[in-house]
């Protein structure tokens, strides 16, 4: 519309175009402003308030909620640990897998991709519950107990949560990696090999830099929802493991301390923004650094 | 690659078979890992046992029968299907409208919209859920005195409570962005000359839209609809915050987990999987027919991830 169109076409533009555009954008604008921006602003305002006698909100301008939060940072630290470990685990399992899909799958590539997507689009809840059976006393725990005679508690441990996380988030890591690895020119790898580079050197100097955009996208796609995860810890953690998501759920639905919960939500968003910005900044910087070296 | 000129490499890579084998093995392991839980749920849902999930006592449909006879499950299933359907319709309509509208605006408006779409997709679901709860409760508390006043003399005026409407409103926020992204991707890959040709041939804008733009967008719109439907049907996080007293299938299943998994839970879970699979397969089938008919490369709903 803003582009300088040739005169005849500009004249052919029907009247009422602006009105049509407004109508087209109206519902989405309403949803974004009223159901996204407004509630987030309310949450920020609430975070400075205090809890009402009946569990509501009493207006105030206090930092109490933030002070309590920083004096008890355990859920945040645990969440960060789980999110970082989960992302790294997804990366280590997802990278060779994506590489296999992109370079070795041949004709069955489409089939493999569909197989990868199917679990992803089926119920998160159902698939997580299934792990309760697989890992539980009738499954792995029982098996280990009957073989070694040692009682192990897999469910309720951070490891069960980590497993549930890798299981649910792996496709989010694999897809962007696959997309970048598929563009990898095999002749580059050949050339590197012919020049006597070791497998590791080829990986570090060719495959890794080329797949870096996918790696960054994948890590962010996994890390962000992980920071707010609460279904997996409440199911596979048997309610014993408290991540930020669980604490938020308790504050809002359990004890109904909305101002305290709001402060945690605001902190969560802040942590995410900072860590993602930092991550993108450092990884793109090291990428350009790597390129300079290879040019030299 | 060009081994025709060189029969054999000077140095034979002894590790090649190991590395190749490892790739295959790991890929196989990942697929087993991804499908094991689905298989477990489906298999044990046919267990004819009286109580314990894993004590296999023969093949039986009895838990399905029991689930479908259960009034609570029936109600939850009906709620879930209705919410998912209304949400998918609204999200598809609004998302498509916005995608079309964004083609007609200046750069600044577009950037503003992009930022909002980005925020709605990137924020953890739980934050959207709790923010929606705060908003809807506030709205309810604001509107109810008015309703009570208008209900006036009546003994018990109908008051607003969180329910299906609030679940739909929050789901639409999430899915609107999904549809917007999918339809915009399709629009940007579309051939503009057809639209120009149509208007040069004196077609009205509406006619051009109906006969040129819309048919080309249809696969993307369909994909958006189906993905929105499955998202809403399976959603637990947002629904658990803004449901009020309304029960949906995921909420029911989650409640069951805390009392211990029974074969009944597995049967309901397997039925949820069935609904999702059906939607995905029907979608895939329609789209592949569509793309074959129009002769372009198949944009599959399954292929679109965020």
**Closest chain A residue to B232 measured between Cα atoms?**
A123
Inter-residue long-range contacts of B138-145, CB under 8 Å, 24+ positions, other chains counted: B138/A42
Closest listed residue to residue B37, CA positions, set A154, A120, A128, A144:
A128
Whether A55 has its CB under 8 Å from any CB of chain B: the answer is no
- Asked if residue B55 belongs to a domain, the reply is no
What tens digit of pLDDT does each residue of A12-27 get? 455 567 888 889 999 9
B94 chain-A contacts, CB cut-off 8 A: 27-28, 31
Q: Is A295 on the interface with B (CB under 8 A)?
A: no
Task: Quote the CA–CA distance of B189 and B53 in Å, as a whole number.
Answer: 50
Structural domain contains residue B89: yes
For residues B84-93, give the mean pLDDT.
96
Please check whether residue B101 lies inside any domain of the structure: yes
Query: In this complex, how many residue pairs, one in chain A and one in chain B, have their CB atoms less than 8 Å apart?
Result: 240
Per-residue pLDDT averaged across B243-256, rounded? 90
Q: In this complex, do B130 and A261 lie within 8 Å of one another by their Cβ atoms?
A: yes
Query: Is A40 at the interface with chain B, CB within 8 A?
Result: yes
Any B CB within 8 A of A118 CB? yes
Averaged pLDDT of chain B:
83
Token digits of residue A70: 């920083």
Residue A265 C-alpha, separation from nearest chain B C-alpha, in angstroms: 7
* pLDDT of B101: 92
Nearest CA-CA distance, residue B30 and chain A, Å: 8
- Does residue B67 lie in a domain region? no
Q: Which of B95, B204, B236 sits opposite A231 (nearest CB)?
A: B236
Instruction: Point out the residue among A36, A104, A139 whose CB comes nearest to the CB of B173.
Output: A36
d(CA B238, CA B61): 32
What's the pLDDT score for residue B180? 93
Please determine, for residue A292, whether its predicted confidence score (pLDDT) is greater than 50: no
3-state helix, strand, coil in chain A (%, to 5): 75, 0, 20
- Does residue B123 lie within any of the structural domains? yes
User: Is residue B303's pLDDT more than 90?
Assistant: no
Element (H, E) at B154: none
Q: Cα B193–B197–B201 angle (5° rounding)? A: 170
Is A279 at the interface with chain B, CB within 8 A? no
Q: B277, A122: Cβ pair inside 8 Å?
A: yes
Do the chains contact at B101 and A121, CB–CB below 8 Å?
no
Quote the tokens at residue B28: 């196989």
- Specify the higher pLDDT residue, A4 or A201: A201
pTM of the predicted model, to two decimals? 0.83
pLDDT given at position B155: 59
Distance from CA of B151 to the nearest CA of A (A): 25
CATH of domain A73-291: 1.10.3720.10
What is the C-alpha separation between A252 and B243, in angstroms, rounded? Answer: 13
Distance from CA of A28 to the nearest CA of B (A): 6
pLDDT at B171 over 90: yes
Q: What is the CATH number of the domain that holds B223?
A: 1.10.3720.10
pLDDT at B297 over 60: no
The answer to whether position B59 is within a domain reads: no
Strand A57-58 to strand A50-51: parallel, antiparallel, or no bridges (unpaired)? antiparallel
Instruction: Count Cβ atoms below 10 Å from residue B45 Cβ, excluding itself.
Output: 23
DSSP per residue over B36-85, as a string?
A: HHHHHHHHHHTB--SS-SSS---B--HHHHHHHH-HHHHHHHHHHHHHHH
Residue B99 is predicted with a pLDDT of 93
Token pair 């397997």 is at which residue? B270
Q: Which helix (H) or strand (E) holds A221?
A: helix A208-227
Q: Which of B122, B132, B240 sits opposite A39 (nearest CB)?
A: B132
- Between the ranges B136-145, B149-158, B281-290, where is the mean pLDDT highest? B136-145
Number of domains forming the structure of chain B: 1
Q: What is the pLDDT of residues A91-125, one digit of tens each?
A: 999 999 999 998 888 888 888 888 888 888 888 88
Give domain status of residue B58, yes or no: no
With beta carbons under 8 A apart, name residues in chain A contacting B234.
Answer: 122-126
Write down the ipTM of this complex: 0.82
Question: What range defines the domain where residue B97 resides?
Answer: 73-294
Q: What is the mean pLDDT of chain A?
A: 83
Nearest to A231 among B52, B133, B237 (CB): B237
B39 part of a folded domain: no
> Residue range B162-183: average pLDDT?
92
B34, B254, B280 ranked by CB distance to A121: nearest: B280
Highest mean pLDDT among A169-173, B12-16, B49-53: A169-173
pLDDT at B291 (0 to 100): 64
Distance, in angstroms, between A91 CA and closest chain B CA?
13
**Neighbour count for residue B107 (Cβ, 10 Å):** 8
Nearest to B134 among A39, A122, A235 (CB): A39
């Amino acid at each position: 519309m803003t582009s300088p169109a040739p005169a005849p076409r500009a004249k052919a533009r029907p009247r009422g175009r602006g009105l049509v555009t407004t109508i087209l954008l109206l519902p989405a604008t309403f949803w974004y402003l009223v159901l996204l921006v407004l509630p987030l602003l309310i949450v920020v305002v609430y975070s400075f308030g205090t809890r009402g006698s009946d569990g509501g909100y009493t207006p105030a301008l206090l930092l109490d909620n933030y002070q309590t939060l920083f004096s008890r940072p355990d859920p945040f630290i645990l969440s960060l640990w789980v999110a970082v470990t989960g992302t790294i685990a997804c990366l280590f399992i997802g990278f060779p897998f994506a590489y296999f899909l992109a370079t070795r799958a041949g004709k069955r590539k489409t089939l493999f991709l569909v197989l990868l997507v199917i679990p992803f689009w089926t119920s998160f809840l159902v698939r997580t519950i299934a792990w309760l059976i697989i890992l539980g006393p009738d499954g792995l725990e029982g098996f280990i107990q009957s073989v070694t005679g040692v009682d192990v508690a897999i469910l309720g441990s951070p490891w069960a949560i980590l497993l549930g996380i890798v299981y649910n988030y792996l496709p989010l890591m694999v897809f962007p990696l696959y997309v970048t690895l598929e563009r990898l020119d095999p002749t580059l790898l050949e050339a590197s090999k012919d020049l006597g580079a070791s497998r590791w050197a080829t990986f570090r100097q060719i495959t890794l830099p080329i797949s870096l955009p996918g790696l960054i996208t994948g890590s962010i796609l996994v890390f962000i929802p992980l920071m707010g995860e609460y279904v997996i810890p409440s199911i596979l953690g048997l309610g014993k493991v408290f991540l930020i998501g669980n604490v938020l759920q308790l504050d809002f639905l359990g004890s109904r301390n909305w101002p305290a919960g709001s402060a945690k939500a605001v902190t969560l968003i802040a942590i995410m923004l900072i860590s993602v910005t930092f991550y993108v900044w450092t990884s793109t910087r090291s990428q350009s650094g790597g390129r300079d070296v290879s040019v030299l | 690659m060009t081994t025709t000129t060189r029969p054999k490499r000077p140095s034979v890579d002894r590790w090649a078979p190991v590395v190749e084998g490892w790739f295959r093995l790991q890929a196989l392991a990942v697929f087993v890992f991804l499908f094991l839980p689905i298989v477990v749920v489906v298999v044990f849902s046919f267990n004819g046992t009286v109580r314990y999930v894993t004590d296999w006592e023969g093949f039986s449909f009895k838990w399905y029968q029991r689930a479908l006879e259960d009034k609570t499950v029936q109600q939850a299933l009906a709620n879930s299907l209705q919410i998912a359907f209304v949400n998918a319709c609204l999200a598809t309509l609004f998302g498509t409208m916005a995608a079309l509208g964004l083609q007609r605006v200046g750069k600044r408006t577009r950037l503003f919209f992009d930022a909002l779409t980005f925020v709605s997709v990137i924020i953890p679901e739980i934050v959207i859920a709790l923010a929606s709860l705060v908003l809807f409760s506030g709205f309810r508390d604001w509107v109810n005195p008015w309703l009570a006043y208008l209900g006036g003399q009546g003994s018990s005026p109908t008051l607003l409570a969180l329910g299906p409407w609030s679940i739909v409103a929050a789901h639409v926020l999430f899915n609107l962005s999904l549809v917007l992204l999918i339809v915009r991707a399709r629009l940007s890959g579309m051939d503009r000359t057809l639209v120009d040709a149509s208007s040069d041939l004196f077609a009205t804008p509406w006619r051009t839209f109906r006969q040129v733009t819309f048919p080309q967008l249809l696969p993307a719109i369909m994909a958006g609809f189906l993905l929105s439907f499955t998202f809403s049907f399976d959603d637990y996080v947002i629904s658990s915050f803004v449901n009020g007293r309304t029960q949906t299938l995921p909420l029911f299943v989650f409640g069951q987990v805390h009392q211990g998994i029974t074969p009944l839970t597995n049967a309901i879970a397997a039925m949820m999987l069935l609904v999702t699979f059906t939607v995905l397969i029907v979608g895939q089938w329609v789209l592949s027919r569509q793309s074959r008919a129009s002769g372009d490369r198949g944009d599959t709903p399954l292929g679109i991830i965020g």
